[in-house]
Amino acid sequence: MVRKEITIKDVARLAECSPTTVSRVINNSEHPVSKDTAEKVEAAIKRLNFSPNRIAQGLKNDKSNIIGVIVHDICDSYFAQMIKGMEEFISEHEYIVNIYNTSRDVDKELHAVNMLKANRADAVVFAAGALMDKRYEREMYNVVEQLKSQGTILLGVTPHPFAIKNISLANQKAAEMITDYAIENGHQKIAFISGPQNLYTSYLRKQGVIKSLENHSLQFKQELLFEGDFTFEGGRKAALSLLNKIDQITAVVAANDATALGLIWELNNQGVKVPAEISVLGIDDLPEAKYSYPPLTTISLPIYNLGTNIGEYLLAQLNEEYDINIKPVEPKLLTRDSLKNIE
């Protein structure tokens, strides 16, 4: 099949003017165009169903209109919501949202960022969570510097070690808040199910728990730390290991809701009553969190809004309005039924 593109020249011919004039009409240029010819051009454009070739425009203005988003897993509703927020905001404004799933794989992550470099992305959002890995850090550092010198706008959503603007998701604060809440309800024997070891987000959430404990003169106990991986399955497994020490525990803080949901499910499955025998707490407020048995008490991180705020920020940056800041997004305690007051 031969690709027969309709160009500005075709329009010009039909409107009996020069390509320059057509371009001026398309771009609502300052440059004066007589009402008469403008109309003829408009008519020709309609007639030919012409839309300007954005690739060519891009080459000319040194813009790709591509905004890259690097994400761990688009199926994780946490990321999906953020992407949706960004996408709904950004694609209204004639930008292309280019998503990469990296499954926290070093090679995939580097591949993504190199593709975005080759495609001269106008902006890149690092939302996948920094990996704690030597090669990753070294190579990523290099590409990031190259992107910077290409003039690419960079933004990290979870904290990154690279020297780029980072928007924090209040990970630590959220973990602190939910732990505070447990303590305020009389819990002292608190277990924690962590996220994946190599994720900075995991680290921050753990720190939040520790900080809350310390603020209340309690100690974080290594033997009550269980490893999870931010998934439902991980939560289920953690529940099993937790069972041995259940008499040492009155509440469990899970590093995220998916984990908490798995935890609750498996505890139910094993005949352990939540929250009568043990309280379970999450972080994120996944849509399904309110439909567990019992509904999960958690911290809401309004991640969809974060997405739209990021979109707004990027667009401002792309329009060189440098004084804009990302609207922050506040964690909020959602008390449902998975915690029992034991004072």
* Interface residues toward DNA, by CB under 7 A: 5, 7-9, 16-21, 23-24, 26-27, 29, 31-34, 36-37, 52-53, 56-57, 59-62
Q: Identify which of residues 149 and 217 has a Cβ nearer to DNA in the complex.
A: 149
> Please, which of residues 189-248 interact with a copy of itself by CB under 8 A?
232
The interface partner of residue 211, options being DNA, a copy of itself, none and the CB cut-off 5 to 8 Å by kind, is: none
Q: Identify which of residues 5 and 223 has a Cβ nearer to DNA in the complex.
A: 5
250 with 188: CB under 8 angstroms? yes
DSSP per-residue codes, 34-60: -HHHHHHHHHHHHHHT----HHHHHHH
CB of 46 to DNA, least distance (A): 15
Number of helical H runs and strand E runs in the chain? 12, 11
Q: Identify which of residues 97 and 218 has a Cβ nearer to a copy of itself in the complex.
A: 97
The interface partner of residue 305, options being a copy of itself, DNA, none and the CB cut-off 5 to 8 Å by kind, is: none
Q: Encode burial over 115-133: b for 16+ CB neighbours within 10 A, e otherwise.
A: ebbeebbbbbbbbbbbbee
The interface partner of residue 84, options being a copy of itself, DNA, none and the CB cut-off 5 to 8 Å by kind, is: a copy of itself
Question: Tokens standing for 165?
Answer: 């603007």
| Residue 199 DSSP class | B
63 with 286: CB under 8 angstroms? no
d(CA 103, CA 42): 47
Task: List all residues 6 or more positions away from 227 whose beta carbon is below 8 Å from its beta carbon.
Answer: 193, 194, 197, 234, 238
Alpha helices in 232-334 (DSSP H): 232-243, 257-269, 303-318
The interface partner of residue 20, options being a copy of itself, DNA, none and the CB cut-off 5 to 8 Å by kind, is: DNA
336 binds a copy of itself per the rule CB under 8 A:
no
> Please, which of residues 2-41 interact with a copy of itself by CB under 8 A?
2-5
From residue 81 to residue 110, what is the string marking binding to a copy of itself with x (rule CB under 8 A)?
x-xx--xx--xx-x-xxxxxx---------
CB of 55 to a copy of itself, least distance (A): 5
| Stretch in the footprint of a copy of itself (CB under 8 A) among 146-154, 168-176, 193-201, 277-285 | 146-154
318 binds a copy of itself per the rule CB under 8 A:
no
Integer-rounded Cα radius of gyration of the chain: 26
d(CA 235, CA 254): 8
Whole-Å CA distances, 130 to 103, 134, 152, 226, 326: 12, 11, 19, 22, 20
| Residues lying near a copy of itself in the complex (CB under 8 A) | 1-5, 49, 51-56, 58-59, 62, 64-66, 73-75, 77, 80-81, 83-84, 87-88, 91-92, 94, 96-101, 111-112, 114-115, 117-120, 142, 146, 149-151, 232, 261, 265, 268, 287-288, 291, 293
